[in-house]
Chains A and B, each alone.
Chain A
Amino acid sequence: MLRRLADLDRRWIFLVVALAVVAPLVWPLRLPIEPSAPTRGVYAAVEALPPGALVCMSFDYGPGTKVECHPMALAALRHAFRKEAKVVAIALWPEGALFAREALRQVGAEMDRAEGLDYVNLGYKSGGEVVLRGIADDFRNIYSTDLAGRRVDELPLMSRVRGWKSFDLVCDWSMGNPGLLQHVRVVATQYGRPLVAGVTAVTAPEAYPFLNSGQVQGLLSGLRGAAEYEVMVGHPGTATRGMDAQSVVHFVIAGFIVVANLLYFAERRERRRRQERNR
């Protein structure tokens, strides 16, 4: 019996996980979400922006991690626009440029913001850190056109933008490398710009030293961080919707680990008993 359980076909495990995800999405639990201190740091940084402040948002994620990072970007855009801030979007990942376009269009339409006046999407450039360093004192070193091919100097908002020092806040929505580390190294450390970040849960633990050192003012970690920020901004979205399923699956996986360890200890005890008998 123990052996059969230990050798369970993994497809049964897959089925249980699938059901654990689907069930809460169909029958939501609607559990409350309490924001954590790092999330409150992001909120405070955006909330402190004066009207007309310039914010740079870097969309450094792809389709695989869109579920975590995109809700962060949407919530931050809503928050920034509510504070009458202006947003310049860049991307260190090719997919990020198109996700930036999607987010800006969606929130821009919701909050009646105009491209070129209230936000600009400069798109993608390859090179990661080299791009951030290349921007230095003038974005025009790297960006001569926006994502749609319009000349940067034709966009009214860009008349206010020179280099990194033009920005009151920099936000990085990042899934890996290039991403947060590059922003910390160049934007926060070399140019001393206030930096907040939203990262996938995989990279979140590595970001805590930067949070502790003050190089990052606030941090959203994974889907949970996105949900916390959505709640704080007052616009629950896909991240909040996903937290119920997240809760249930975590408990299911924890259950698997407990069962596996109980089986392991039972087998170990059985093996010791057999060894004793053989002596």
Chain B
Amino acid sequence: MTETSSFSQVVGLWVGGFLTLCVFSFLYKDNVFYKLAEHIFVGVSAGYWMCIGFWQVLYPNLWGKLQAGDWRYALAAILGLMLVARLVPRIAWVGRWPLAFMVGIFAGFNIVYTMQAQVLKQVEATLVPLWGNPDVATTLLNWILVLGVLTGLMYFYFSVEHKGPVFGTAARIGIQVLMIAFGAAFGYTVMARVSLLIGRVMYLQDVWVKTLEFFRG
């Protein structure tokens, strides 16, 4: 923030500042400036993703491999082009092949990784001692963890009615635990959204600071 600003940087900051204010104008009401900013955003982001994807993936990982003589990658290019064929209604069905390939890979990964990282490891982490801990706080936290996970899971088990002294009570406790988790999530969501606004206001502040720095030389 203390570095001297170049002319193109200052112009860029004013362009960025103007576009930011165009987006914020939506808060008063929908208007032509907001629509302009929205359409520029969609166009630039689609173009941006394609350019980065080209230079970071297609150029080294596809063209580079083909240039090196690895002709297996021609199959990847063909599958990629089949995906783009979805634009033509008459031959859109060919796009199913690369889609099926990607879905298959994703499904295969999910079976192994989800089981390993999100089921087995998490169950292992829930098997904690409920007595004999070095202090009361650890014991209490372990009870909260174990009971919270068990009752939460029981709440999500809808094949049995949530009635009775055991299952009904457990499901009711489970929903309370989940509500606390959702409350924490809401609090953090508010924090996140507010942070984004703070970032933009700091950016607008910096537009002024860097402009003054530039003119002061």
Contacts and interface: CB of A to CB of B under 8 A. Distances in A.
Majority secondary structure of chain B interface residues (helix, strand, loop or mixed): helix
B136 interface: no
B191 A11 contact: no
B56 interface: yes
Nearest to B109: A129
Contact of B188 (A11, A129, A221, A242): A221
Interface in B162-202: 181, 184-185, 188-192, 194-202
Interface in A88-102: 94-95, 97-98
Contact of A11 (B28, B61, B118, B125): B28
A275 interface: no
B125 A214 contact: yes
B118 A25 contact: no
A145 B68 CA distance: 14
The contact size tier of chain B is 35 or more
Contacts of B60: 143-145, 149
Majority secondary structure of chain A interface residues (helix, strand, loop or mixed): helix
A94 B27 CA distance: 29
Interface in B80-112: 105-106, 109
B202 A242 contact: yes
B129 interface: no
B122 interface: yes
Given A129-B109, A209-B122, A246-B195, A67 B202 contact: yes
Interface of A: 11, 14, 17, 21-22, 25, 64-68, 94-95, 97-98, 123-126, 129-130, 133, 142-145, 147, 149, 184-186, 188-190, 200-202, 204-206, 209, 212-215, 221-224, 238, 241-242, 245-246, 249-250, 253
Given A189-B116, A189-B117, 5 more contacts: A130-B109, A149-B55, A205-B181, A206-B185, A242-B199
Closest 3 interchain pairs by CB?
A: A67-B199, A213-B125, A201-B192
